[in-house]
Structure 1
Amino acid sequence: MRVSSRFYWPSMYSDVQQFCATCPICQKTAISRKSDRALLQPLPIIPTPFRRLAMDIVGPLVKSSQGHQYILVVCDYATRFPEAFPLRNITTSSVMQCLVQLFSRTGIPDEILTDQGTNFTSRLMQLFHKQLGITSIKTTPYHPQTDGLVERFNQTLKRMLQKFVDDTGRDWHRWLPFLLFAYREVPQASTGFSPFELLYGWDVQGPLDLLQKSWEDSAIKTKEEGRSVVQYILEMRERLQNYRDEAELHLQKAQKMQKTWYDQHARHREYQPGQKVLLLLPSSTSKILTKWQGPYMVTRKISPVTYEIEHPERKKKKQIYHVNLLKEWKEQVTQPVKATLVVGQPEKEAVGRPWGVACLPWGMPRPMGGAPNLKGASQVREKGSDRECCMLHGPAWPCVVLTGSFRMAPPPIGAADSRLQAR
């Protein structure tokens, strides 16, 4: 520590540590660590298909030949079955038309999880949800991990689309159903089944199955011939139930493994209403600008990992944020105690670094930095104080007297014996 090579006062290390920890600029520019994130809070598992949906919008993309620039993506939490609709614009009415098409095939869900985009939070969309009895769940700003299911599918869909756009040009909207088919027939690591299996109860017949048939040069006769409709429905219902029970076990196991891995580098954090925190907000103008902003006031706790924060200077005065975007604000607390600091620099035979003497109100001056032999003494009286301190220095050392604020600390053992008595 550079201070210790020049100066000394009791509790110096803890004082410097506290000063650095409460530095406003340092707190706002500090890099976030993995250990700063909160413990993982998985969403409850939904066993029934299309009861909870996750919804997001991908884009803007390369404009297709039909003018489509966006894709509305909807994923089912129970089966991981995805739906995607090409859009020319992302207005609330366009999103609602796609949802009506989806609900006509899957039924009306209980919950829909979205981000806080205006097309999902508008009054028209709120009225739409209210009329259908749908509970709208919103993710916190700048925390896409809450909607991780649809975010992961978005990345997969973008990579698949990129390959098709390179080959087919601007007709990517025509290939979207084929990309969805390819995704739906692949077993998911989290469930152990493909989305198609969990939704319909049997393996989908894809291009590879048709290729196998052509090689075998014989049609595979179905075993369902001669069975009654009632028997077929009962067997189908039993098969679906077995698939979904096993998929739920896979999901529970996957969630447990993910939470164990995630929580290795996480810790529990909690803030109280009225406490000041810093808020991590991205800066799009420059990478060197401060990302941590504030301090702001915590107004209330919404859940174990979400808090309502008040920021008067923003358009939305109060907003809910995830705890991973918050950091405790440490106030600088100073207890001013007047002291005299004498810093000397020899006229001759410089010793490489200055020699400093800190004179505390209760104790002896402590020379630091390898001072030369002391042959004389002078006295410096603090202005406005009856206390007189004796500051030793070499006679050839011109002294500059500075005053500053130091935190009062109890004297070390034996300090009373070494104090200079006021004359």
Structure 2
Amino acid sequence: MISQQGVEMNQSKVHAVTEWPEPTTMKELQRFLGFTSFYQQFIRNYSSVASPLTFLLRGKPKRLACKPVPMKGLPMVLQTAEALFQHVFHNFGLPEGIVSDRGPQFTSRVWRSFCKHLGINIINMSSGYHPQSNGQAERSNKEIRRFLRSYCSREQQRWSEFLPWAEYALNSLTQSSMGLTPFQCVLGYQPLLFPWTSESSDVPVVVEWSRLSQEVWEHAYVHLQLAIRRQRFQANQHRSPHPPYTVG
């Protein structure tokens, strides 16, 4: 339609698009993405925009983001439940299931009753002699421990203060299996990294906090990148080159 305001689309022609119901099932999401794929020739970087939705078609992942929680010692059952509510459930809601190791707090009758009361399935437990069966959690724990070990050697009494930065750095790394960061999978976008300006401040507390935050962030990010390269090198050592093929 051409009017005094300019060129615009007839609203009756795009009613089906603007009023498209929010997909709630896998089939509805497939239909929605099939419909929007027509617009990839008009929308710049369409694949990046739609990637959080297309990732959902791969099925339900067990874990996307990392959330470390500092504890004074090995928690009991009720302390574990309270930590889950304070740091996980109130942000993301109750999960359908939980994968855990065979710690005493997860094998107790109280824990099973707690999960049953909330409708949470205890999916499975990793083997006590083979923790790699819960490889995602083990890998995250290993990376965070490596960062804390290297950085907190001079700040041994304040290690828990640096956990949020380790978490922020880990959730900002692009995962090779997904092609996205955990932030993008959970939130649908990548949060800004240090969005404050480079202007100096005349408040000493702000200057010191900014300096320490930047230092911890850079140390965590670089260290996690080194861990990724080290893991890739170790994995490639056990790979054999593909056999030569000839035409015919």
TM-score normalised over the length of structure 2: 0.53
1:153 is aligned, of 121, 129, 140, to: 140
The secondary structure found in structure 1 opposite 2:179 is coil
What residue is the counterpart of 1:202 in the other structure? 189
Counterpart amino acid of residue 168 in structure 1: E
What residue is the counterpart of 1:108 in the other structure? 94
Query: Matches of 1:138 and 1:198 in 2, distance apart?
Result: 25
The secondary structure found in structure 2 opposite 1:113 is strand
What residue is the counterpart of 2:27 in the other structure? none
Question: How do 1:21-420 residues align onto structure 2 when only pairs under 5 Å count?
Answer: 47-48=59-60, 52=62, 77=63, 80-89=64-73, 90-101=75-86, 102-136=88-122, 137-207=124-194, 210=196, 214=198
Per-residue deviation, 1:46: 6.9
**CA offset digits 1:342-395 (Å, max 9, x no partner):** xxxxxxxxxxxxxxxxxxxxxxxxxxxxxxxxxxxxxxxxxxxxxxxxxxxxxx
What residue is the counterpart of 1:305 in the other structure? none
Counterpart amino acid of residue 159 in structure 2: W
Q: Runs ≥4 in structure 1, deviation > 6 angstroms? A: none
Per-residue deviation, 1:92: 1.1
Query: Matches of 1:100 and 1:124 in 2, distance apart?
Result: 16
**Structure 1: 5+ residue stretches without partners:** 1-44, 53-76, 216-257, 263-423
Query: Matches of 1:185 and 1:127 in 2, distance apart?
Result: 36
Counterpart amino acid of residue 76 in structure 2: T
**CA offset digits 1:57-79 (Å, max 9, x no partner):** xxxxxxxxxxxxxxxxxxxx2xx
Query: Matches of 2:134 and 2:154 in 1, distance apart?
Result: 31
The secondary structure found in structure 2 opposite 1:152 is helix
Per-residue deviation, 1:95: 0.6
Q: How many residues align?
A: 144
Counterpart amino acid of residue 184 in structure 2: E
Query: Matches of 1:201 and 1:134 in 2, distance apart?
Result: 25
Per-residue deviation, 1:158: 0.4
Say if 1:145 and 1:206 are closer, same or farther in 2 by CA, change over 3 A: same
How many percent of aligned residue pairs carry the same amino acid?
A: 28
Which has a greater percent of helix? Answer: 2
Say if 1:126 and 1:46 are closer, same or farther in 2 by CA, change over 3 A: farther
**CA offset digits 1:237-292 (Å, max 9, x no partner):** xxxxxxxxxxxxxxxxxxxxx9xx79xxxxxxxxxxxxxxxxxxxxxxxxxxxxxx
The secondary structure found in structure 1 opposite 2:99 is strand
Q: Does the 8 A contact of 1:87 with 1:94 survive in 2?
A: no
Q: Which has the larger radius of gyration?
A: 1
Q: Aligned-pair RMSD on alpha carbons? A: 2.6
Per-residue deviation, 1:47: 3.8
